[in-house]
Amino acid sequence: MRRPLTALTIAVVFATSASAADFVIEPTTVPVMKSVFGQVQSRDTLPARARIGGTVVEILIDEGDAVQFGDEIANVVDEKIALQLDAINSRQAAIEAQLENARTNVERARKLFERGTVAKTRLDEQQTAFDVLQNQLDAIEADKSVIVQQAKEGTVLAPASGRVLSVPVSQGSVVLAGETIARIAGGGYFLRLSLPERHAAGIKQGDEVTVGARGLTPSDDGEKLTTGHVAKVYPEISDGRVTADVEVDNLGDFFVGERTLVTIPIGSRETLLVPRPALMTRHGMDYVTVLKGDEETEVTVIPGESFTIDGEDFIEILTGLRAGDTVVAP
């Protein structure tokens, strides 16, 4: 019976009897895996910049903190803004006083005109003087709005949701408009791999990879392993290496720039596989029972890698078996 593999092609033909199962071994195509270190990268690294120049009077975040888009992370104060605001408030108060006097003159001139005491030109002059002062007041209020907005822009906001990578300034620092107050890593994380050029043709977008636990050493604990897939293979080879990005869920606990072990398929090869129960070990030697004619004979073999196919465990046989051999397993 032919049994399909996920992303592989394998054929294992077998017949069953009352006491044993006979497997006719055929060449099997298996992936060639390579372990490399992947580096955690953030999709976006955005600077939170000061919108005005001044003195940093308050920093509300620290490296490693999680922030949301629009959160207040620092305050920058320009003392000249307060002086400008005081000056424009004084100008506004003076114009408002003149405007109130002009309004009184207009009302007086209108009453005198209605009695026929003054000419129409006198009323027009008073009305024009009032309109000029009103326009001056409107201009002052517009200038005041600009200054108030500048004062509000002293609040530095998070440009994206994510984690704070660095805060290159400290409280009391003098900064210019546009200077970076903090760097935010946002948009989620992925793994970036760099492999030798000879593997470029074997890496395909969508290939499944295995990602180890945190740390730079392999882990034999399957519960600590996770899987991902190749999201992008960059078309440019630089310094003899090809770059690929791997998407993995739940990388939020990793540090940006942290490295972890990634096992990625770089090609395929043919080998012989037998079910794991068929392999027996005695006195440090590995044996497989082979059916030759009507007799069962134990053959010494050298096993290789293990593979799981459709939920069943198989073991690679490096030497001792040939294609077409019939293996007997309990």
Range name among 48-62, 87-101, 132-146, 258-272 with the lowest pLDDT average: 258-272
Domain membership flag for residue 231: no
- Give the model confidence (pLDDT) of 108-125 as tens digits: 888 888 888 888 888 889
Same domain, 140 and 90: yes
User: What mean pLDDT value characterizes the chain?
Assistant: 85
| More confidently predicted of 20 and 75 | 75
User: What pLDDT is stored for residue 113 in this prediction?
Assistant: 85
What CATH number is given to the structural domain containing 61?
A: 2.40.50.100
pLDDT at 4 over 50: no
Same domain, 147 and 162: no
User: What pLDDT is stored for residue 7 in this prediction?
Assistant: 38
| More confidently predicted of 138 and 328 | 138
Domain membership flag for residue 204: no
User: What pLDDT is stored for residue 61 in this prediction?
Assistant: 93
Confidence class for position 95, pLDDT limits 50, 70, 90: very high
User: What pLDDT is stored for residue 218 in this prediction?
Assistant: 53
Distance in angstroms (rounded) separating the CA atoms of residues 280 and 287: 5
User: What pLDDT is stored for residue 184 in this prediction?
Assistant: 93
∠211-215-216 over CA atoms, to 5°?
85
Same domain, 91 and 127: yes
Domain membership flag for residue 29: no
| More confidently predicted of 249 and 80 | 80
Q: Tell me the percentage of the chain whose pLDDT exceeds 90.
A: 38
3-state secondary structure the chain: CCCCCCCCECCCEEEECCCCEEEECCCEEEEEEEEEEEEEEEEEEEEEECCCCEEEEEECCCCCCEECCCCEEEEEECHHHHHHHHHHHHHHHHHHHHHHHHHHHHHHHHHHHHHCCCCHHHHHHHHHHHHHHHHHHHHHHHHHHHHHHHHHCCEEECCCCEEEEECCCCCCCEECCCCEEEEEEEEEEEEEEEEEHHHHHHCCCCCEEEECCCECCCCCCHHHCEEEEEEEEEEEEECCEEEEEEECCCCCCCCCCCEEEEEEEEEEEEEEEEEHHHEEEECCEEEEEEEECCEEEEEEEEEEEEEEECCEEEEEEEECCCCCCEEEEC
Domain membership flag for residue 15: no
Domain membership flag for residue 129: yes
Distance in angstroms (rounded) separating the CA atoms of residues 209 and 106: 84
Same domain, 65 and 87: no
Confidence class for position 216, pLDDT limits 50, 70, 90: low
Domain membership flag for residue 202: no
Same domain, 63 and 97: no
Burial category of 198 from C-beta neighbours within 10 Å (exposed 0-12, middle 13-18, buried 19 and up): exposed
Pairing of strands 180-196, 312-319: unpaired
Confidence class for position 137, pLDDT limits 50, 70, 90: very high
Same domain, 140 and 109: yes
Confidence class for position 183, pLDDT limits 50, 70, 90: very high
Domain membership flag for residue 57: yes
| More confidently predicted of 221 and 72 | 72
User: What pLDDT is stored for residue 252 in this prediction?
Assistant: 63
Same domain, 66 and 128: no
User: What pLDDT is stored for residue 213 in this prediction?
Assistant: 75
User: What pLDDT is stored for residue 34 in this prediction?
Assistant: 87
Same domain, 98 and 125: yes
Structural domain boundaries, residue 178: 45-76+157-186
Same domain, 167 and 69: yes
User: What pLDDT is stored for residue 306 in this prediction?
Assistant: 85
Same domain, 126 and 83: yes
- Give the model confidence (pLDDT) of 39-79 as tens digits: 998 888 899 999 999 999 999 999 988 899 999 999 999 98
Same domain, 66 and 107: no
Pairing of strands 28-49, 13-16: unpaired
Same domain, 72 and 167: yes
Residue identified by tokens 């290789």 is 304
Mean per-residue pLDDT, 199-215: 85
Q: Final residue of a domain: which of 140, 166, 186?
A: 186
User: What pLDDT is stored for residue 212 in this prediction?
Assistant: 81
State how many domains the chain has. Answer: 2
Domain membership flag for residue 224: no
